[in-house]
């Protein structure tokens, strides 16, 4: 069984380390910050103790997992690793330096992977002398609980590297999907309208945040409304991903960020983590009540949903991923109640096209352009799945 290296001891790096160690691998977690390493080790011990207390694992298994993980500050620990996964700050220059440093230490047969959620794998691989062994392996937070992992080949990635990475992550009990190396990959690309269109509806004054959240959860079946979810993720993360996808897609208006969210970030109102975001989480604060108007709620839900379906269809049209992988990604990666393409089949693709065209005719904005795939399928009375 190969030795696994993790770069970064934050929540994501530690979570991936726990997954690999649980699968029986020897794992080394590297961080230049000694305090961060100690914090990660303490958090891991607490997590294992909690799992034992809840009866999820035995004390022996907990001891095995913690025993499999070493927290180190010397990059030489990566010598002998068969896989190293980088999980640090979303900064391309920093990642490039890290990959160049790792390649100088790791053996020639070691797979080098990035857990980036939106940056170019090709760009990261470009600094390596052997870029064919670089691949994207994108986990979702929290890594021990979230089943989905996106595997992203760079244009330089060897087929054998991609196949080996996929097989290994599958063996860890994860559900892998293959995504083209484009901004946001599958999930962070397709999910943008869940936030962006909800923000647009709010900014137009169609409904307040509480009503939009109510519509998407109670009528749409989503686990969290968009504003609650943005506050949960944190605007320092969610807004930055939106801004990155917008920029990397050459400022396509479909991914345009919102001033409402940007102002929260600028104010330091990051969501739950800071006690204030779209909602006030201070002790004693009262959350606003939604206007439970079902006609309005259905209008909101339909508008957000067709934008999501449009994005999912375009991901297929542009060969970002297969139809099956797009639906798996959205149900396993962000817990959508249904796969968006199967949902389109249920609604009727002609109805989806009609609703998108109605939005376009109202706004005359490119943001509402209908995917050519949907238009073609509607004309030919096709469905995504038989």
Average pLDDT, the chain: 97
Q: Pairing between strand 134-139 and 148-153?
A: antiparallel
Mean pLDDT along residues 318-322: 98
Mean pLDDT along residues 118-141: 96
Q: Would you state the structure tokens that stand for residue 251, as one six-digit string?
A: 């400022």
Dist CA 136 CA 116 (whole Å): 7
pLDDT-derived band at 217 (thresholds 50, 70, 90) equals very high
Mean pLDDT along residues 180-190: 96
pLDDT-derived band at 176 (thresholds 50, 70, 90) equals very high
Mean pLDDT along residues 322-342: 97
Domains 3-178 and 186-386 are alike in CATH topology:
no
- Which DSSP state fits 379? H
Dist CA 266 CA 235 (whole Å): 10
Mean pLDDT along residues 352-372: 98
The partner residues of 6 in beta bridges, in order of sequence, read 29, 85
* pLDDT given for residue 314 in this prediction: 98
188: helix, strand or coil: helix
Dist CA 373 CA 378 (whole Å): 9
Active site amino acids: 117, 138, 150, 188
CA 247 to centroid of chain Cα atoms: 18
* pLDDT given for residue 43 in this prediction: 96
Determine contact, residues 105/134, Cβ cutoff 8 Å: no
Q: Summarize pLDDT for 229-249 with one digit per residue, the tens.
A: 999 999 998 998 899 899 999
Q: Would you state the structure tokens that stand for residue 385, as one six-digit string?
A: 């799945």
* pLDDT given for residue 386 in this prediction: 86
Q: Would you state the structure tokens that stand for residue 179, as one six-digit string?
A: 């995504």
Exposure string (b/e) for 79-105, b if CB count within 10 Å is 16 or more? eebbbbbbbbeeeeeebbebbeebbeb
* Domain 3-178 class, CATH top level: alpha beta
H runs (alpha helix) in 334-371: 340-347, 349-363
Which tops the pLDDT comparison, 265 or 90? 265
Determine contact, residues 373/314, Cβ cutoff 8 Å: yes
Domains of the chain, by residue range, sit at 3-178, 186-386
For the four alpha carbons of 34, 40, 44 and 50, in that order, the dihedral sign comes to positive
20: helix, strand or coil: helix
CA angle 167, 174, 165 (to 5 degrees): 30
Residue 327: pLDDT above 90? yes
Q: Summarize pLDDT for 264-307 with one digit per residue, the tens.
A: 999 999 999 999 999 999 999 999 999 999 999 999 999 999 99
CATH topology of domain 186-386: 1.10.1040
Tell me the backbone φ, ψ of residue 10, rounded to 5 degrees. Answer: -70, -170
Q: Summarize pLDDT for 218-230 with one digit per residue, the tens.
A: 999 999 999 999 9
Residue 376: pLDDT above 90? yes
pLDDT-derived band at 21 (thresholds 50, 70, 90) equals very high
The DSSP result for 126-170, as a single string, is TTSSSGGGEEEEEE-SSTTT--EEEEEE-TT--HHHHHHHHHHHH
pTM of the complete model = 0.95
Dist CA 254 CA 365 (whole Å): 9
Residue 210 contacts by C-beta under 8 Å, 6 or more apart in sequence? Answer: 227, 287, 288, 289, 290, 291
The DSSP result for 96-135, as a single string, is HHHHHHHHTTS-TT-EEEE--SSS-HHHHHTTSSSGGGEE
Dist CA 265 CA 239 (whole Å): 8
Q: How many CA atoms lie within 13 A of 138 on its CB side?
A: 25
* pLDDT given for residue 118 in this prediction: 82
């Amino acid at each position: 069984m190969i030795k696994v290296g993790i770069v970064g001891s934050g929540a994501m790096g530690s979570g991936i380390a726990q997954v690999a160690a649980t699968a029986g691998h020897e794992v080394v977690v590297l961080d230049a910050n000694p305090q961060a390493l100690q914090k990660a080790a303490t958090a891991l011990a607490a997590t294992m103790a909690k799992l034992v207390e809840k009866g999820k694992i035995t004390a022996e298994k907990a001891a095995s997992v913690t025993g499999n993980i070493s927290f180190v500050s010397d990059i030489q620990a990566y010598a002998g690793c068969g896989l190293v996964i980088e999980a640090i700050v979303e900064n391309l220059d920093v990642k490039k330096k890290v990959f160049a440093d790792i390649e100088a230490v790791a053996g020639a047969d070691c797979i080098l992977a990035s857990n980036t959620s939106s940056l170019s794998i090709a760009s990261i691989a470009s600094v390596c002398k052997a870029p064919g062994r670089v691949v994207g392996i994108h986990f979702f937070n929290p890594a021990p609980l979230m089943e989905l992992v996106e595997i992203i080949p760079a244009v330089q990635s060897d087929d054998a590297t991609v196949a080996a990475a996929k097989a290994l992550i599958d063996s860890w009990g994860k559900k892998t999907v293959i995504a083209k190396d484009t901004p946001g990959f599958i999930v962070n690309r397709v999910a943008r309208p869940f936030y962006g269109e909800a923000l647009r509806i709010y900014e137009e004054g169609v409904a307040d945040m509480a009503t939009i959240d109510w519509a998407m959860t109670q009528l749409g079946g989503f686990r969290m409304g968009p504003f609650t979810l943005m506050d949960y993720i944190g605007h320092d993360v969610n807004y930055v991903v939106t801004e990155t996808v917008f920029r990397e897609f050459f400022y396509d208006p479909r991914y345009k960020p919102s001033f409402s969210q940007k102002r929260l970030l600028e104010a330091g109102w990051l969501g739950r983590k800071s006690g204030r975001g779209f909602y006030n989480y201070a002790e004693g604060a009262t959350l606003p009540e939604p206007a439970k108007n079902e006609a309005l709620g259905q209008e909101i839900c339909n508008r957000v949903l067709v934008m999501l379906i449009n994005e999912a269809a375009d991901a297929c049209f542009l060969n970002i991923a297969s139809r099956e992988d797009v639906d798996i990604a959205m149900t396993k990666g962000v817990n959508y109640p249904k796969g968006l393409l199967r949902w389109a089949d249920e609604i009727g693709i002609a109805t989806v096209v009609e609703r998108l065209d109605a939005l376009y005719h109202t706004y005359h904005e490119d943001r509402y352009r209908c995917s050519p795939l949907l238009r073609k399928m509607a004309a030919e009375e096709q469905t995504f799945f038989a």
